Amino acid sequence: MSAFPETSMTLLKKIAVQVTGEREAAWVRFFGLYEPAIKRFVAWHDSSHDPDDVVQDIFLKLVNVVQSGGYDSSKGSFRAFLATMIRRHLVSLYRKDQARGAGLHVDIDDVEPSVSADVAEQIDLKWRMARHQSAIEHVLTKTAISAQSRDIYRAYVEEERSLDEVAAQFGVAKAVIYKIKSRVEQMAAIIEEEFADEK
């Protein structure tokens, strides 16, 4: 656990602090949520990409966009701008891979998404799921909920084992399992609120 990890996003964080005047901690928090969500999306999408590389690539491109004057503060918050750009890059990645699969040529630097409504809907759904799952994972791996709660949640929800089986294994009543599931999801919902609205 590092307070302010030195990663590729450091430069973008500094720019964000300069642009918004917000504390660095606020941006550590912002990127701390987006990074795992992006990685999860990429991992689901296509195993041919290294999620770390995609994250680096996205943040570097964001730096370039911001430094070349791509952000207009009159059109919305910097947070929402970043969130929108991240989504666009993910759409672009998806589109390129689809085109590559169909034997089409796509410019690697083309980040302007141009996909059908169905595909866009599919990507949005995947992106929402990625954010939701990374929020759940945050609750399970980065908060001080009890180890038993964590294990019960994983057994019942992620491993999809039956209520009876989980209750017997952990020696708890079924109501406890429901309660734990509900609490983890409530916490995840609060964390999901931390993601910025995309334009």
Partner 1 sequence: MGSVYEVEHEQLGVRYALKAFTAQDDYADILKKKFLAEGKVLARLRDPHLIRVFDLAIDEATGVPYFVMDIITYSDGVPHTLDDVELGDLEEEYVVDWFEDLCKALDYIHAQGIVHRDIKLGNVLLREDRHVMLSDFGVSRIFGAGLSREINVTRTIVSDGKTETKLVMGTEGYMAPEVLRGQDATPAADVYSLGVMFFHLLTGLWYEPGTRALALLDSFKYRWRDILSRMLSVDPQDRPLPLSDLPRQLQPIESPEDLVPTKLKRSALWGGFWKRWYFILAAAVVVLVLVIATMALLRSNSKELLPPSQDDFNELFSSSDVFQPEEVGK
- Tell me the CA end-to-end span of the chain in Å, nearest whole number: 32
Single out the segment in contact with partner 1 by CB under 8 A; choices: 96-104, 116-124, 126-134, 135-143.
Answer: 135-143
User: Between residues 194 and 198, which has the closer beta carbon with respect to partner 1?
Assistant: 194
CA atoms within 13 A on the CB side of 98: 14
- Cβ atoms of 19 and 30 within 8 Å: the answer is no
Among 2, 48, 68, 74, binds partner 1 (CB under 8 A): 2
User: Between residues 2 and 48, which has the closer beta carbon with respect to partner 1?
Assistant: 2
Report the run of H or E that residue 54 belongs to, with start and end.
helix 51-67
How far is Cα 149 from Cα 179, in angstroms, rounded to an integer?
10
User: Between residues 77 and 98, which has the closer beta carbon with respect to partner 1?
Assistant: 77
In the complex, the smallest distance separating the C-beta of residue 1 from partner 1, rounded to whole angstroms, is 6
Single out the segment in contact with partner 1 by CB under 8 A; choices: 5-13, 38-46, 67-75, 140-148.
Answer: 140-148
Binding of residue 183 to partner 1 (CB under 8 A): yes
The stretches of 68-193 forming alpha helices (DSSP H) are: 78-101, 117-142, 147-153, 163-170, 174-192
Footprint of partner 1 on residues 86-115 (CB under 8 A)?
A: none
How far is Cα 134 from Cα 19, in angstroms, rounded to an integer?
27
Interacting residues toward partner 1 by CB under 8 A: 1-4, 21, 23-26, 28-29, 32, 138, 140-150, 171-176, 179-180, 183, 186-187, 190-191, 193-194
